[in-house]
Structure 1
Amino acid sequence: MDGIDQGWWWLIGGVLLLIAEVLAPGFFLIFIGVAAMVTGLFVLLFDLALAPALALFAIYTALAVYLGRRVYANRPVPAASGHLNDRSAALIGRSAVAVGPIDEHGGRARLGDGEWSARGGPAQAGDRVEIIGVEGNCLIVRGTPKLEG
């Protein structure tokens, strides 16, 4: 097999690795695919034999993995919420509606499509309350002032 045919095989192999990365993402095959494609270009340009092509492929793979890890390892991943591992803390500050009377001894509040135990208030059925804390599965709420209308 001459260098021209070999170069095309390197390019085809690189493209197949990139396709495999799209089908099964893990962000590793992309580095090997890019290295194979660059090797294919060098083989086509300089009509290299198999041994130098394999050596170039090894060097390009190592270089691509090194550069890729350097670029992507230092990239911070933004959290969608500051309370990623504390879901109950994400409820603080939200509004709920009192299902019945809520006082310091207890009551029920509707948050979204669910009902929660609640205490605090005071609030009457239908009043909007603000969640100021969570203890276990009980919302700690305070009544919001009603607007005179």
Structure 2
Amino acid sequence: MDNLEPGWLWMIGGILLLIAEIIAPGFFLVFIGVAALATGAFTLLFGMPLAFQLILFTIYALVAVMIGRKVYANQAADSSDPLLNDRVARMVGKSVTVIETVDEHSGRVRVGDSEWSARGGPGRPGERVRITGVDGNCLLVEPERQLPPADGV
């Protein structure tokens, strides 16, 4: 290892970081790995002292992170389901059953196979209410609107 040029050490480090990204994906090590590879290539081409290598690595890492952030932000914005990982926001608009009387201060509703705190309403046990929003871990609900029966039909 004593005979190894610093540029090759940067290249080996960059490849190891890319391998680590494949083994434990987190989309972060790839930026540092690319910066290390670029620094290694530049060092092999121009033979720079260590201080310049570290400065160059820092610049490459910042640029790689900024580019990656921009690309990742564009991909996230183009999602066909922007609420995919926001379970609570996905519940807004759903009709649920009251378990404990719901009023402006408290109550409980059944959502799927779980129970949630709720307020708003009013709603008595067994009635259906619609989720209108969320306040922390408490669902905001209102009575479901029902159409009056049609006359003569």
Q: TM-score, normalised by structure 1?
A: 0.52
2-structure distance, mates of 1:64, 1:33: 10
| Equivalent AA in structure 2 for residue 48 of structure 1 | M
Runs of 4+ in 1 over 4 A off after TM superposition: none
2-structure distance, mates of 1:59, 1:70: 17
| Equivalent AA in structure 2 for residue 13 of structure 1 | G
Q: 2:124 is matched with which residue?
A: none
Residue 79 of structure 1 aligns to a residue whose secondary structure is coil
Q: 1:25 is matched with which residue?
A: 25
* Bigger Rg, which one: 1
> Is structure 2 residue 66 aligned with structure 1 residue 78?
no
Residue 74 of structure 1 aligns to a residue whose secondary structure is helix
Residue 25 of structure 2 aligns to a residue whose secondary structure is coil
Q: Does the C-alpha gap of structure 1 residues 55 and 70 become closer, same or farther in structure 2, counting only changes over 3 Å?
A: same
Residue 48 of structure 1 aligns to a residue whose secondary structure is coil
Give the length in aligned residue pairs: 92
> Residue 70 of structure 1: CA displacement?
1.0
Q: 2:5 is matched with which residue?
A: 5
**Aligned Cα RMSD in Å?**
3.1
| Equivalent AA in structure 2 for residue 17 of structure 1 | L
| Equivalent AA in structure 2 for residue 51 of structure 1 | A
> Residue 49 of structure 1: CA displacement?
1.3
> Residue 80 of structure 1: CA displacement?
9.6
Unaligned runs of 5+ in 2: 95-127, 130-153
> Residue 78 of structure 1: CA displacement?
2.4
Q: 2:68 is matched with which residue?
A: 68
Q: Does the C-alpha gap of structure 1 residues 78 and 53 become closer, same or farther in structure 2, counting only changes over 3 Å?
A: same
2-structure distance, mates of 1:66, 1:80: 22
Q: 2:43 is matched with which residue?
A: 43
Percent identical across equivalent pairs? 51
> Residue 73 of structure 1: CA displacement?
1.1
| Equivalent AA in structure 2 for residue 57 of structure 1 | F
Unaligned runs of 5+ in 1: 90-134, 137-149
Q: TM-score, normalised by structure 2?
A: 0.51
Q: 1:52 is matched with which residue?
A: 52
